[in-house]
Amino acid sequence: MPSSIDELVNVASSLWPSKYQEVRPGNLTRFIAPFEATLGQDPIERAPRGGPAGGTIYFESHNQQDTIATFALLGADLALTRYAVYTQMSPDPMVYRYLWQIRIVAYDALVTYFDALTEEEVTALHDQPLTVGELLSAFIKGERDRWIDDHVYSNALRGVLGGDDDWAKETLAYGFLVESTQPAVYRIWSRPWLVTK
Amino acid sequence: MATPIEDLVTILPCSWPGEKLPVMPGELRHFAPQGLGLDVGLVVRPWDDPSGPSPSRFYGLDEPSADPFAAAPTAEASGGTAYFDSGPSPEHLKALLSLLGTHLSLKQYAVFMVYSANPIRQGYIRQMRIVSFFALKSLFGVDAIEGPHQLPEQEFDVEALLAAFIADDEWRWGERKDHEEGQNLGFGYTIENTYQCVYRIWSRVWPAGVEPQP
């Protein structure tokens, strides 16, 4: 089982809430605009127009303090505890370019963005036992423990990104996306990358 | 008053080096792709299938993508784009730049700058591209170390330059009287190419339109 996250927070089914929605919050193939792929690649055009912060970053996390500081600079509400969590394992890391991802959706976003719950229904939901900052740190550590087995390379990831185990060997990195700062919708994922000679 | 960027580094004209290249380093409408971008010859080892893929494929450029997963560099851990408010602390700024893989102590780089005629519509007030000498030669085909287009090493490293850009634009924004009530200054920063050291920073206005919808 990949996820000790399941033991740390309440992970929602991809079909929750059951009310019909055009785009479900648990549908992790979709992004909140302006991160939908149809909107182009220009990072200047893709900036959040309503606020100062956001973005998509790729990183190794050798320094947890820097990592958390960067999440905060990107507008992540690290103290948030009222959020839903959705997870998805990649069916094919070579094609989809991630290993495992989680989406963090503030309860408020289930009302305003997704029209999936009413404000009364959201009021009845429980706080998560971890803050967003603690959850992101737990994800990073959990994935490192799972995949990195010889300090640098990952035998478990051998070949998943087309590496030949000679000129190019797979190891682990991460991606983090602020889909929305207010209300909060974040995505973090583990990903393979190739260390070359 | 912050020190203007122009007093810290030489800003090259967008037409530099003065001759037509397939892609001009001062052409800021386009972004460089990720990837090592090394011109490695065909590699075939004795045990390879001659009709199979060559290891040289690991050293090329990545295909750009708008998908946040597919846009990650394949041969680098770090990269990406960050948007942030004005007034970042030096510690937070350094954490961001480091985490995204910025070569902070680099001094062998060229600088290009463009000002927007319409900051709301174009999404930036001014933008600055930092291109390492390595990238000038490897990606754009201009040798800035030797020959007729030789450039001097910069006095300020990349970390100091990026911090100065932010401080300069914060000061300029405070002096400007033409922005509307409620409009604020923010910044964007993107790693165009991690390995080759090509970076872009820009100042921008927010809010600049309607809120994004799902």
Which chain A residues touch B64 with a CB distance below 8 Å? Answer: 41
Q: Is the pLDDT of residue B212 over 70?
A: no
Min distance B167 CA to chain A CA atoms (Å): 16
At A8 the pLDDT is: 95
Q: Are the Cβ atoms of A193 and B74 closer than 8 angstroms?
A: yes
Min distance B95 CA to chain A CA atoms (Å): 5
Q: Which of B69, B89, B201 is best to mutate for the A interface (most A CBs within 10 A)?
A: B69
Q: In the A/B pair of chains, how many CB contacts fall below 8 A?
A: 190
pLDDT tens-place string over residues B90-128: 999 999 999 999 999 999 999 999 999 999 899 999 999
Min distance A90 CA to chain B CA atoms (Å): 11
Q: Alpha-carbon Rg of chain A, whole angstroms? A: 17
Q: Are the Cβ atoms of A56 and B81 closer than 8 angstroms?
A: yes
At A197 the pLDDT is: 83
**Beta strands B109-115; B11-12: pairing state:** parallel
Instruction: Using DSSP, state whether A97 is helix, strand or coil.
Output: coil
Task: Calculate mean pLDDT across residues B6-15.
Answer: 94
Nearest to B72 among A37, A44, A175 (CB): A175
Q: Are the Cβ atoms of A196 and B75 closer than 8 angstroms?
A: yes
At A16 the pLDDT is: 94
Instruction: Using DSSP, state whether B80 is helix, strand or coil.
Output: strand
- Cα(B180)–Cα(B209) distance, rounded to whole angstroms? 13
Residue in chain B closest to A32 (alpha carbons) equals: B214
Which chain B residues touch A180 with a CB distance below 8 Å? Answer: 212
Q: Are the Cβ atoms of B84 and A75 closer than 8 angstroms?
A: yes
Q: Distance between alpha carbon B6 and the CA centroid of its chain, in Å?
A: 17
- Cα(A52)–Cα(B207) distance, rounded to whole angstroms? 8
Q: Is the pLDDT of residue B213 over 50?
A: no
pLDDT band for B54, please (50, 70, 90 cuts): low
At B203 the pLDDT is: 97
Quote the percentage of chain B above a pLDDT of 90. 75
Q: Is A168 within 8 Å of A50 (Cβ atoms)?
A: no
Q: Which amino acid is at A121?
A: E
Q: Are the Cβ atoms of B81 and A57 closer than 8 angstroms?
A: yes
Mean pLDDT in consecutive groups of 10 residues from the start of chain A, 197 residues: 79 91 89 65 88 95 92 98 98 96 97 93 97 97 88 86 90 96 96 92
Which chain A residues touch B78 with a CB distance below 8 Å? Answer: 58-60, 173
Q: Are the Cβ atoms of B207 and A189 closer than 8 angstroms?
A: no
Q: Are the Cβ atoms of A49 and B96 closer than 8 angstroms?
A: no
Q: Could you tell me if the ipTM is greater than 0.90?
A: yes
Per-residue tokens: B120: 């709301």
Which chain B residues touch A71 with a CB distance below 8 Å? Answer: none
Which chain A residues touch B190 with a CB distance below 8 Å? Answer: 43
Residue in chain B closest to A30 (alpha carbons) equals: B214
Q: Measuring CA to CA, how many Å separate A28 from each of A16, A53, A70, A187, B104?
A: 13, 22, 23, 9, 35
- Cα(B168)–Cα(B155) distance, rounded to whole angstroms? 17
- Cα(A180)–Cα(A113) distance, rounded to whole angstroms? 10
At A3 the pLDDT is: 54
- Give chain B's mean pLDDT: 90
At B181 the pLDDT is: 76
Q: Is A133 within 8 Å of A79 (Cβ atoms)?
A: yes
CB atoms near residue A152 (< 10 Å): 10
Q: Establish if A71 touches chain B: CB-CB under 8 angstroms.
A: no
Min distance B147 CA to chain A CA atoms (Å): 30
At A1 the pLDDT is: 43
In chain A, positions 49-68, which contact chain B (CB-CB < 8 Å)?
49-61, 63, 65-67
At B208 the pLDDT is: 67
Per-residue tokens: B26: 């001062």
* DSSP labels, A98-134: -SEEEEEEEHHHHHHTS--S-HHHHHTSPPPSS-HHH
What residues have CB less than 8 Å from B157, skipping those under 6 apart? B104, B105, B106, B107
At B44 the pLDDT is: 62
More confident residue, A7 or B50: A7
